[in-house]
Amino acid sequence: MRSKKFVFGVVVLLLLLFSQVPFIYRRYKLRRLSHSIQQLNSQRTTLERNGFTEHRGVIHVHSFLGGHSEGTFSEIIAAAQTNQLQFVIMTEHTEKDFDTAAMTLNGMHGGVLFINGNEVSAENGDRTLVLPGDVSVIAYPEEFKNWDTAGVDGVEVYNVYTNSKRINKVVAFFDALWSKRSYPELMFAHYLERPGESLKKWDQALTRSRLTAVGGNDAHANIGVSLRDSSGNTLLGVELDPYAVSFRLVRLHVLVEQGKAFDAASVMEAVRAGHCYIGFDFLGEATGFSFEAENAGERKIQGDEISLSEGTKLRVQTPVPGRIVVVKDGAVRSDESGIVLKEFPVTEKGVYLLVIYLFGQHPWIISNPIYVR
């Protein structure tokens, strides 16, 4: 009898060990990816930008205000400082009895510029990020219905929280046991997917109007697996998305004209104009990326219009070599790897944008368009 129990125990132990093989292998792959990222970024070139100053931040952040999160202001400020962000755009859920935008972080805190806004739901369920300066950004475009809404300035083509809802919690728990301590952002990023459907909807919308693309963190610090008692106290849990990790996954890089003050007005002006790009900085710091258009008499950056004339060309420059995909009116026009600096002649009018990759099929950078008219 004792022998049978011993054999049963050994079998259970072997099965348990065998079940961990995928998570051990995933940790091995994350270690290799981390090494590759470090190696590639050791080749980073510092790039100068003429006429604009680049500022790195995040958009679509929630605190304890408006529910859905227990995140404190202190945690958000500390996470922004840890990530060396210059700005954070807060988008609190609305409440019937009080103004959450007025109550959230606003102004300079801990050396970081905070900009206060709301996430607002329409009667049909459409949600927008309503920001200072009357800037309005479509949130969750895969669910958005009324694309003819007037006064919309941008679209959130990527949303971390939307991706995270697909996570299998059992898988995430064991992944966290093996990898979270050493590779927290890479482990979380493993669950993120290329925003193919959102990019497609944005491409289609660009045929009708100008829309700035942003990448939303939708940070709540509430994604994970936990065991709680009847009083709501956490007995055992794994948090996958603390603000410090979320702020490393995707960032909004804005280009503010030199000579202008760095404040909420100049950041919102840059976002409205499309003078910004999305950087998935967990793959490597994107700061310094440049996408411009030039002809005999004009020089423009992403978000701008330029006239088609003889000699019109696009110019892209990145701090490390990458695979650069040029998209015109929603269709791929060029796809080349190992590029740091490249010029592309333009012979047709259209809407041109870039998607840049470093590893695999997840983008590193998504530019905003240059409109050749």
> Closest by alpha carbon to 131, among 148, 113, 108, 154?
154
Is 168's pLDDT higher than 90? no
pLDDT interval class at 233 (50, 70, 90): low
Cα gap 22→13, rounded to integer Å: 16
Is 199's pLDDT higher than 90? no
Average pLDDT over residues 127-147: 93
| Predicted pLDDT of residue 17 | 76
Burial class (CB in 10 A: 0-12, 13-18, 19+), 263: middle
| Predicted pLDDT of residue 238 | 65
Cα gap 160→163, rounded to integer Å: 5
pLDDT interval class at 235 (50, 70, 90): very low
pLDDT interval class at 227 (50, 70, 90): very low
**What's the per-residue H, E or C state across the chain?**
CHHHHHHHHHHHHHHHHHHCHHHHHHHHHHHHHHHHHHHHHCCCCCCCCCCEEEEEEEEEECCCCCCCCCCCHHHHHHHHHHCCCCEEEEEEECCCCCCHHHHCCCEEECCEEEEEEEEEECCCCCEEEEEHHHEEEEECCCCCCCCCCCCCCEEEEEEHHHHHCCCCHHHHHHHHHHHHCCCHHHHHHCCCCCCHHHHHHHHHHHCCCCCEEEEEEEECCCCEEEEECCCCCEEEEEECCCHHHHHHHCEEEEEEECCCCCCHHHHHHHHHHCCEEEECHHHCCCCCCEEEEECCCCEEECCCEECCCCCCEEEEEEEEEEEEEEEECCEEEEEEEEEEEEEEECCCCEEEEEEEECCCCCEEEECCCEEEC
Is 292's pLDDT higher than 50? yes
* Range 289-373: architecture per CATH: Sandwich (2.60)
Domain ranges of the chain: 37-286, 289-373
Q: Answer whether 149's CB lies under 8 Å from 126's CB.
A: yes
Q: Answer whether 127's CB lies under 8 Å from 140's CB.
A: yes
Q: Are strands 299-301 and 290-294 parallel, antiparallel or unpaired?
A: antiparallel
| Predicted pLDDT of residue 263 | 97
What CATH class is the domain 37-286?
Answer: alpha beta
CA dihedral 189→192→196→197, nearest 10 degrees, is -140
Cα gap 173→53, rounded to integer Å: 41
Average pLDDT over residues 130-149: 91
